[in-house]
Amino acid sequence: MKLKRIMAAAFAGIMAVCCAGCSGSKSAPLKVGVKSDVIGFGFKDTVTNEYQGLEIELAKKLATELGYSGVEFTAVTAATRTELLDSGDLDCVLATFTITEERKKSWDFSTPYFTDAVTVLVEKADGISDLSGLVGKKIGVSTGSTSAYNLAKAMSEKGLLGDYKVPESSKDFDISSFGEKGTKFEQFADYPAISNAMAAGTVDAFCVDKSILAAYKTEGRDYITDTFAPQNYGVATKKGSELSARIEELIVKWKGDGTIDKLIAQFGLN
Ligand code: GLU
């Protein structure tokens, strides 16, 4: 009798652990890191305080399908998203987070749900129209982004930086000491700070994914004509997280059945 009770208790314990692991917890929200300033992806309406965009809708759908009680959004930047994922403050990140070989060593990524290219925003008055106009300029980029590496690569491939070639791996690229042909990068914690620096004239250009730049393209500004380094955005989870495979399965399903395409069209991203 006693043995039966012990076995029943042990079984209940195992089931509780399994269920928490297999289907999310009905009593807890899925904690998701999202952008708050990227129109169409993750944007927080300052009047309603509501988040809107493709990544917001995908996060809500993931929470429902995975059996969570809802979704809890945390605004992240390129500089903060990985730290918050590593610390367990977030279960996953849907924040224009580019899948790279280097990043795959540290986090799990789903199949891409969107692809966007990198470009550069400039003040029209400065007369810079393509990559060649950036030689000798100071370019604002975000800390924790792929932007500087990709821009240096695109410029070197066009022969604009003499014999310089970017290192094979982005982790060997030192942004702060880069200075080929006088071209320099300055890193900022967020995008409004880069935009302000460009308005103040302390940087000459602002480089990141085109979708992110859209919010800062005011009347007197324009993109250069070059776009480069297509960025595949994926859902990031902690390396080895039990969520990784379940999120992957859902993203693959929604890519196949047209759900993601519909959302892309709904937010005018195509
Ligand atoms: N998507 C790029 C990256 O992951 C740009 C940075 C950002 O997402 O804010 O590095």
Q: What sections of 66-207 are H helices per DSSP?
A: 81-86, 101-104, 147-157, 191-200
Q: What pLDDT does 3 receive?
A: 43
Position 11 pLDDT exceeds 50:
no
Ligand 1 site, residue 150, Cβ cutoff 6 A:
no
Predicted pLDDT of residue 27? 84
Q: Domain of residue 68: give its range.
A: 27-113+234-266
99 plus 128 within the same structural domain? no
* 125, 78: one domain: no
- Give the pLDDT of residue 10: 45
Q: What is the mean pLDDT of the chain?
A: 92
98 lines ligand 1 (CB under 6 A): yes
Identify whether residues 168 and 243 lie together within a single domain.
no
Evaluate whether residue 17 is within a structural domain.
no
Taking the centre of ligand 1 as the mean of its atom positions, its distance from the CA of residue 74, in whole angstroms, is 17
Tell me: the pLDDT tens digits for 53-73?
999 999 999 999 999 999 999
Give per-residue burial for 8-24: e unless 16+ CB within 10 Å, then b.
Answer: eeeeeeeeeeeeeeeeb
Q: What's the total number of domains in the chain? A: 2
Residues 139, 225 within the same domain: yes
> Residue 20 falls within a domain, yes or no?
no
- Are 149 and 219 in the same domain? yes
33 and 108, same domain (yes or no): yes
- Residue 2 belongs to some domain of the structure: no
- Do the Cβ atoms of 38 and 96 come closer than 8 Å? yes
- Same domain? For 160 and 195 the reply is yes
244 has a pLDDT exceeding 80: yes
**DSSP states of 31-79 as a string?**
EEEE-SEETTTEEE-TTT--EESHHHHHHHHHHHHTT-S-EEEEE--TT
CATH number at 31 reads 3.40.190.10
Label residue 214 by pLDDT band (50, 70, 90).
very high
Same domain, 31 and 109: yes
pLDDT at 235 over 70: yes
Taking only the tens place, the pLDDT of each residue in 94-104 is 999 999 999 99
What is this structure's pTM?
A: 0.90
Indicate whether residue 107 lines ligand 1 (CB < 6 A).
no
Inside any domain, residue 12: no
The answer to whether the CB of 237 is under 6 A from ligand 1 is: no
Could you tell me what percent of the chain has a pLDDT over 70?
90
Residue nearest ligand 1's atom 6 by CA: 145
